[in-house]
Structure 1
Amino acid sequence: MSDVLTRAATAAIRYRTGVPPQLRPPAAPRHFVGRGDELAAVRAGGVTVVSGPGGVGKTALALKWLQDRGSGDQLYVDLAVREPLGDLLRAFGLSDVEVDESVALFRSLTARRQFTLLLDNADSAEQVTPLLPASGTVLVTSRSKLNLPQAQEIHLEPLADDGRLEELLDLSYVELPERQARLYRLCAWQPDTFGVPVAAAIAGEPECDVEDALDDLVEKSLLTEVGDAFRFHELVRAHARTKR
């Protein structure tokens, strides 16, 4: 174990001026309005879980907080696409680590750094717990309340229209690639939730292409994902129907 921790110290020195490229967070949204109370509620130090339905803006809020208030190195892990602990250690140059040593090694590594860690798209408390360091700031996004011990919970509801939402939607819409913009316009005429097959039939495109485009709209908070289906917030639906 001591040899492993020595390698961890070496890796920490190697990356003392930054983090590995694959762990750097994406840029915060260029256009961000509202959520002032929620941003102010996120605390530096400790763990904050930001929960809410898909497309409500959890990741956007977390990235905005990182941009404005995050301190030290910023680490980002999308739990939906990565095997988290092993990938984190490999990113810092550590491989062939025994499973029963990996948690202690990660905590030893992060204890030597000032950092903010964003764990995006968490499914459960069990998925997150091994990644919680002894110190630093951790933000977690999840569609569910995770009930992590001593964690702060912030639940997001869809934005209400305070006069700025239409401006935000216009800015988001003009930056959409053509496929996403076309789906945004066409699917807004569906009165309720709809699945990928319905969207593909409306667009006349393969389901695999349409599914990727719908996921992009969810990421941009223009659609909400409900299980295996999608739906528009009524204010967003009304906006989409004005576009030609």
Structure 2
Amino acid sequence: MAGRNAAGGIRFRGSHGISAQFLPPAPPKHFVGRLRELEQLRPNGVTLVSGPAGVGKTALALRWLHDRCSGDQLYLDLTVREPVELRLGRLLRALRLNDVPAEDRVAAFRSIVLKQKITLLLDNASSADQVTPFLPASGTVVVTSRSSLDLGGAEIALDPLTDETGSLAPLLDLSYVELPERQARLYRLCAWHPGTHFDVPEAAAIAGESECDVEDALDDLVEKALLTEVGDTAFGFHDLVRAHARAKRQIG
């Protein structure tokens, strides 16, 4: 799961003395092929970045925050489901507002975000209802989701990268060489699965490892955009990525 931390998915960057645990995750080292979408992201207003798992939604948002967006930033990973009141309580404490009654937390959070001009990144949203309590009356908010959500703002829909410019193969090489050996081995082996997608038990059988270890490694490959999730329980390769993985096994 991209960007999650021990504090339950909340990270903050700014000049308010907040702990480093609230910093947004660092953007990916290698970023190519999304320059047009990067230019489409604009300050002010709500922008939804949508697309399938592993397509690079979070990477795009983090790169934009790092390169194009000055000022204070707050990151929330909405993958973890929890009551809005509890999440807002932790957020407000991180922003040095303690003991705010539950019924006042939405208004208090929106007010401080608006007054301090904090840019929000709401990552991995699954519904508009998850996002709405955090939206200030104005300001800059970027939301990532696998779904097209009605948030009343702009939407940038990401498709899998193509290699028309020849830039994808070098990017895959850079991602591959940084993989730990377990993930690299799984990447090479699963590319030879005869179907279009596979599940955790099938990947474990291919690798000769436990399902628990393989599931963690598959999640890491999804985070690095080397695999995509197919439904809730399966994984698959983009055609170009599969060809790259197969070539690595032949070389190795």
Q: Do Structure 1 and Structure 2 share a fold, with TM-score over 0.5?
A: yes
**2:154 pairs with 139, 149, 152, which one?**
152
- Counterpart of 1:4 in structure 2 is none
Q: Deviations over 1:124-153 (max 9, x none)?
A: 00000001112321110000000112x111
Deviation at 1:112, TM superposition (A): 2.4
Q: SS of the counterpart of 1:148? A: coil
Aligned residues: 229
Q: Distance in 2 between matches of 1:19 and 1:123?
A: 28
- Counterpart of 1:104 in structure 2 is 107
RMSD of aligned residue pairs (Cα, Å): 1.5
Q: Deviations over 1:186-224 (max 9, x none)?
A: 101113111111111111111111111111111110000
Q: Distance in 2 between matches of 1:200 and 1:88?
A: 39
Deviation at 1:108, TM superposition (A): 1.8
Q: Deviations over 1:137-195 (max 9, x none)?
A: 1110000000112x111100000102010000000000001111111001011131111
- 5+ residue gaps, structure 2, are 1-13
Contact kept in structure 2, 1:48 and 1:138, CA below 8 Å: yes
- Greater CA drift, 48-57 or 100-109: 100-109
| Amino-acid identity (%) | 69
Deviation at 1:95, TM superposition (A): 4.3
Task: Map 1:199-210; keep pairs closer than 5 Å.
Answer: 199-210=203-214
- Counterpart of 1:135 in structure 2 is 138
Question: Please, what TM-score do these two structures have when normalized by structure 2?
Answer: 0.86
Task: Map 1:61-140; keep pairs closer than 5 Å.
Answer: 61-81=60-80, 83=82, 84-140=87-143
Q: Distance in 1 between matches of 2:54 and 2:35?
A: 18
Contact kept in structure 2, 1:20 and 1:92, CA below 8 Å: no
Contact kept in structure 2, 1:50 and 1:155, CA below 8 Å: yes
Q: Give 4+ residue runs of structure 1 displaced > 4 Å after superposition.
A: none
Answering whether residue 184 of structure 2 is matched by residue 181 of structure 1, we say yes
- Counterpart of 1:166 in structure 2 is 169
Instruction: Give, as a single letter, the amino acid of the residue that structure 2 aligns with 1:31.
Output: H
